[in-house]
């Protein structure tokens, strides 16, 4: 090791940069936790760095782990403060890398991903799933198991789970330092963590990346993660967990400047997708809870919901609530499912069923009325009030004192008897849906799961909408929508509770238009109305045509699983719109902007009389079972793909190339596209890997002998030298142009070098 490398290591752990002294004989003097320390660094006969410290002779890496970082203490703190779950059940998962795709158990796949460090590069793995599929539980469980392995000497790295959910923080660095404080680990700093990751002593798992995005904005959040990746300098592994609604791997690459700035680091981008639970996982979970007849409990629930893929049987957080309710008693299953539970409203059903149980659980009865302390509606109103106050304050927790204050404020409205008020105030902080934030915040409460918070926030929003309909005053509703970006699920639940939605739909549309028209700059209002609108019209009968021309932003997955008809959107901005299990009938888009339209070809997508008129479409992404199979940026190819999928692209009064038929791409072009799109998964590609993986089948020779030389000639890619290419005696290539800019020139006229490149490709 060089002196500069050693100096960098010590500066990452010392109390003060200026207090580190390096002598020519190898002595290093530094302060750690306020105490002066001295050690001597030497090179042994084998050429390895060793450290003499307090009478011990240690390998240099051992000295960093044991003395500078005190990882043994770190591991014990994790075991002490962050235990795993006894009832943990591993979920099915799919690990997708740039080299292969593997099905298996999520815990095993995560361990495989973490154990297999890249020798000469860094690895970023995104763990994705919809809310309630157990991302956080998986990370916490692996953290605890890995700490135990480290203490036993079975592994040489720690896995550290940093949860951003419920944190009043605005930067990733703040979250890391906050978590170090919670674990009570002195002597470690932000540079220390970067150093440990680079030296493969630690893997950092950032949970709730979408929460950080909600705090500081999606672009800033991605930039924050991108900056962290750059600080890793091509060394170590990072895990980032988020709901599928926030981003996918392909989208993350596009939203960073990592590939645009010719990053010198070899970075692989992988993804672990958590899948739905099956009968196997459900029965294992019931067995872990010591239910006497787990299979019979499963069959009883299945007979009530009628579908094996019903959310209450596939989403762990919903199943956990049902398990709490039925307590292993077959008779309680029928009682719990006394009403029909549809797939789309499973969260609402669980919440309302538990609220009814809470009503009964509060045993006290008003002597005058013969009723429980609080009715079902009062429980809902109280929790909706709490969710709204969290929303207004932009926090995911609330103090017990605040809960008591809001309860007291509702007493007069509810006409609660004076002698009952103190009793209710005393027990309201222990509500079934509210749990302590953590061991250091026992005086504060948060919702048991983010989806429960979203449900009650939706009830609060529905109350504001109903009030606006009744009074004609939209000021409170506008203020609510102005605060922050709404989660999709809030919009999904909300419109189940709007009074006479069909009758009032036109009135609500006018309200939304009035809010937008009164704005003179972009705010969350445009984005939130864009989120609400598709869920709102999904609940109506479509007998009356809908026309909406406000300048609104529509984003992400809000058009998935929708059947919409007789609608015209005008002046809308559509961001990363996903058409998956989507039916559009007599739906038209006028003067709209689409930055990206994602079409899932393996799902049920049907477009009848759908047109895009005088609009801008920047790109089309075709997927099959979640895998990107084509990305189109050129106007010619965009029009081809839209037409083939039954969507008319109209410019003025002219339908553009309406007689287009599907044209099979040449093997040359298909192989080229696969090669280029691979740069979405890794910043550098190696000849050795291409030959060994054989993902191109019989076209490997075509790629190596014809396509790559053509790409080099047109400066699409360049040959670079890396540690891996030197050691493995292989060739490495890096993309030198922006991928979007590259594909945009396919099929257009002109003399631009990229246009000439595609002209040559299309002649093959």
- Note the pLDDT of residue 259: 45
- Note the pLDDT of residue 245: 44
Pick the range with the lowest mean pLDDT from 41-45, 314-318, 338-342, 403-407.
338-342
Structure-token pair, residue 161: 């789970």
Query: Is there a domain that residue 395 lies in?
Result: no
Is there a single domain that holds both residue 163 and residue 238? yes
Is there a single domain that holds both residue 289 and residue 325? yes
Structure-token pair, residue 260: 């645009």
What SS3 state is found at 597? strand
**Per-position DSSP letters for 221-259, written without gaps between them:** HHHHHHHHHHHHTT-EEEEEEEETTT--HHHHHHHSSTT
Confidence of residue 355 (pLDDT cuts 50, 70, 90): confident
Q: What is the mean pLDDT of residues 725-733?
A: 91
Query: Is there a domain that residue 501 lies in?
Result: no
Query: Is there a domain that residue 518 lies in?
Result: no
Top pLDDT among 221 and 684 is at 684
pLDDT digit string (tens) for 28-79? 999 998 899 999 999 999 889 999 999 999 999 999 999 999 999 999 999 9
pLDDT digit string (tens) for 613-627? 999 999 999 988 877
**Residue 383 CB-half CA count within 13 A:** 29
Pick the range with the lowest mean pLDDT from 43-57, 352-366, 375-389.
352-366
- Note the pLDDT of residue 222: 54
Is there a single domain that holds both residue 28 and residue 84? no
Query: Is there a domain that residue 383 lies in?
Result: no
pLDDT digit string (tens) for 661-715? 556 678 999 899 989 988 888 889 999 988 887 777 788 999 999 999 999 999 9
Confidence of residue 519 (pLDDT cuts 50, 70, 90): confident
Q: What is the mean pLDDT of residues 470-489?
A: 93
Query: Is there a domain that residue 502 lies in?
Result: no
What SS3 state is found at 95? strand
Contacts of 163 (CB under 8 A, 6+ apart): 136, 179, 207, 208
- Note the pLDDT of residue 581: 93
Which neighbouring-strand residues pair with 207? 163
Tell me, what CATH number does 206's domain have?
Answer: 3.40.50
Which neighbouring-strand residues pair with 29? 21, 38
Top pLDDT among 104 and 485 is at 104
- Note the pLDDT of residue 343: 63
Is there a single domain that holds both residue 34 and residue 78? no
Q: What is the mean pLDDT of residues 151-160?
A: 96
Is there a single domain that holds both residue 41 and residue 134? no
Q: Would you say 681 and 98 are in contact if contact means Cβ atoms under 8 Å apart? A: yes
Q: What is the mean pLDDT of residues 477-484?
A: 93
User: What backbone torsions phi and psi does residue 103 show, to the nearest 5 degrees?
Assistant: -95, 145
pLDDT digit string (tens) for 76-135? 999 999 988 888 999 999 998 888 889 999 999 999 999 999 888 899 898 988 777 888
pLDDT digit string (tens) for 535-547? 999 888 877 899 9
Q: What is the mean pLDDT of residues 131-154?
A: 93
CB atoms within 10 A of CB 166: 20
Is there a single domain that holds both residue 176 and residue 297? no
The last residue of one of the domains, among 663, 682, 705, is 663
- Note the pLDDT of residue 223: 56
Confidence of residue 656 (pLDDT cuts 50, 70, 90): low
Pick the range with the lowest mean pLDDT from 304-313, 440-449, 451-460.
440-449
Q: Using CA atoms, how far apart are residues 93 and 78, in angstroms rounded to an integer?
A: 25
Query: Is there a domain that residue 652 lies in?
Result: yes
Tell me, what CATH number does 628's domain have?
Answer: 2.160.20
The last residue of one of the domains, among 274, 291, 311, is 274
Query: Is there a domain that residue 417 lies in?
Result: no
- Note the pLDDT of residue 753: 93
Domain range enclosing 566: 542-663
Structural domains counted in the chain: 5
Is there a single domain that holds both residue 164 and residue 136? yes
The proportion of the chain whose per-residue pLDDT surpasses 70, expressed as a percent, equals: 90
Q: Using CA atoms, how far apart are residues 597 and 488, in angstroms rounded to an integer?
A: 18
Is there a single domain that holds both residue 152 and residue 252? yes
- Note the pLDDT of residue 165: 63
415, exposed or middle or buried, with CB in 10 Å at 0-12, 13-18, 19+?
exposed
Is there a single domain that holds both residue 38 and residue 100? no
Is there a single domain that holds both residue 37 and residue 90? no
Is there a single domain that holds both residue 98 and residue 138? yes
Q: Mean pLDDT over all residues of the chain?
A: 86
Closest among 37, 43, 2 to 21, alpha carbons compared = 37
pLDDT digit string (tens) for 162-202? 987 645 445 677 888 888 888 888 889 999 999 999 999 99
The last residue of one of the domains, among 274, 308, 343, is 274
Top pLDDT among 558 and 292 is at 292
Query: Is there a domain that residue 685 lies in?
Result: yes
Pairing of strands 434-436, 444-447: antiparallel
Is there a single domain that holds both residue 315 and residue 226? no
């Amino acid at each position: 090791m060089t002196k500069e490398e050693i100096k960098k290591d010590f500066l990452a752990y010392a109390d003060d940069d200026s207090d580190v002294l390096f002598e020519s004989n190898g002595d290093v003097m530094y302060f750690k936790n306020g105490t002066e320390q001295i050690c001597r660094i030497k090179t042994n006969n084998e050429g390895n760095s060793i450290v003499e410290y307090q009478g011990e002779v240690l390998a240099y890496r051992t000295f960093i782990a044991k003395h500078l970082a005190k990882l043994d203490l770190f591991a014990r703190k994790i075991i002490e403060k962050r235990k795993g779950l006894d009832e943990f059940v591993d979920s099915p998962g799919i690990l997708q890398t740039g080299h292969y795709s593997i099905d298996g158990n999520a815990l095993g796949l995560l361990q495989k991903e973490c154990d297999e460090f890249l020798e000469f590069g860094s690895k970023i793995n995104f763990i994705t799933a919809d809310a309630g599929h157990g991302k956080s539980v998986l990370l916490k469980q692996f953290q605890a198991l890995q700490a135990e392995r480290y203490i036993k000497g079975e592994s040489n790295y720690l896995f550290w789970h940093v949860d951003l959910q419920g944190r009043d923080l605005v930067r990733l660095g703040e979250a890391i330092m906050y978590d170090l404080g919670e674990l009570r680990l002195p002597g470690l700093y932000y540079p220390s963590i970067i150093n440990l990751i680079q030296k493969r002593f630690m893997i950092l798992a950032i949970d709730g990346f979408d929460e950080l995005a909600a705090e500081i904005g999606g672009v800033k959040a991605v930039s924050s993660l991108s900056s962290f990746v750059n600080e890793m300098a091509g060394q170590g592994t990072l895990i980032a967990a988020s709901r599928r609604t926030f981003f996918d791997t392909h989208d993350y690459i596009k939203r960073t400047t990592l590939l645009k700035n010719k990053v010198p680091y070899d970075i692989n981008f992988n993804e672990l997708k958590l899948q739905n639970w099956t009968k196997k996982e459900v029965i294992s979970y019931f067995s872990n809870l010591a239910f006497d007849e787990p299979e019979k409990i499963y069959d009883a629930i299945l007979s009530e919901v009628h579908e094996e893929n019903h959310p209450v049987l596939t989403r762990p957080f919903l199943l956990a609530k049902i398990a709490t309710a039925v307590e292993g008693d077959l008779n309680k299953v029928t009682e719990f499912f006394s009403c029909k539970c549809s797939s789309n409203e499973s969260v609402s059903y669980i919440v309302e069923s538990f609220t009814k149980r809470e009503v009964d659980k509060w045993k006290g009865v008003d002597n005058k009325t013969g009723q429980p302390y609080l009715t079902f509606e009062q429980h809902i109103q109280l929790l909706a009030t709490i969710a709204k106050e969290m929303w207004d304050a932009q926090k995911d927790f609330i103090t017990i004192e605040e809960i008591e204050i809001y309860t007291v404020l509702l007493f007069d409205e509810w006409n609660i008897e004076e002698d009952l008020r103190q009793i209710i105030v005393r027990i309201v902080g222990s509500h079934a849906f509210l749990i302590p934030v953590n061991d250091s915040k026992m005086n504060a409460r948060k919702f048991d799961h983010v989806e429960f918070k979203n449900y009650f926030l939706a009830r609060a929003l529905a109350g504001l909408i109903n009030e606006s309909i009744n009074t004609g005053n939209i000021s409170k509703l506008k203020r609510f929508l102005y605060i922050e970006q709404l989660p999709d699920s809030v919009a999904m639940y909300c419109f189940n509770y709007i009074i006479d939605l069909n009758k009032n739909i036109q009135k609500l549309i006018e309200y939304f238009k009035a809010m937008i028209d009164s704005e003179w700059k972009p705010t969350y209002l445009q984005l939130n109305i864009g989120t609400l609108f598709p869920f709102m019209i999904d609940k109506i009968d479509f007998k009356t045509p809908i026309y909406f021309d406000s300048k609104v932003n529509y984003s992400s997955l809000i058009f998935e699983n929708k059947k919409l008809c007789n609608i015209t959107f005008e002046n809308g901005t559509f961001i990363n719109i996903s058409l998956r299990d989507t039916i559009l009938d007599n739906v038209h888009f006028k003067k709209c902007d689409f930055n990206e339209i994602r079409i899932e070809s393996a799902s049920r997508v049907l477009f009848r009389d759908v047109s895009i008129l005088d609009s801008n479409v920047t790109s089309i992404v075709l997927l099959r079972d979640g895998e990107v199979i084509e990305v189109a940026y050129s106007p010619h190819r965009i029009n081809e793909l839209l037409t083939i999928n039954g969507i008319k692209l109209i410019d003025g009064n002219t339908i553009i190339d309406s007689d287009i038929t599907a044209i099979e791409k040449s093997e040359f072009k298909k192989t080229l596209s696969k090669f280029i799109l691979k740069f979405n998964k890794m910043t550098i590609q190696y000849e050795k890997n291409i030959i060994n993986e054989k993902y191109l089948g019989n076209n490997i020779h075509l790629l190596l002998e014809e396509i790559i030389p053509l790409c080099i000639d047109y400066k699409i890619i360049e040959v670079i030298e890396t540690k891996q290419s030197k050691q493995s005696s292989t060739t490495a290539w890096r993309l030198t142009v922006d991928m979007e800019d590259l594909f945009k020139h396919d099929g257009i006229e002109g003399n631009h070098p990229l246009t000439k490149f595609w002209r040559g490709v299309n002649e093959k």
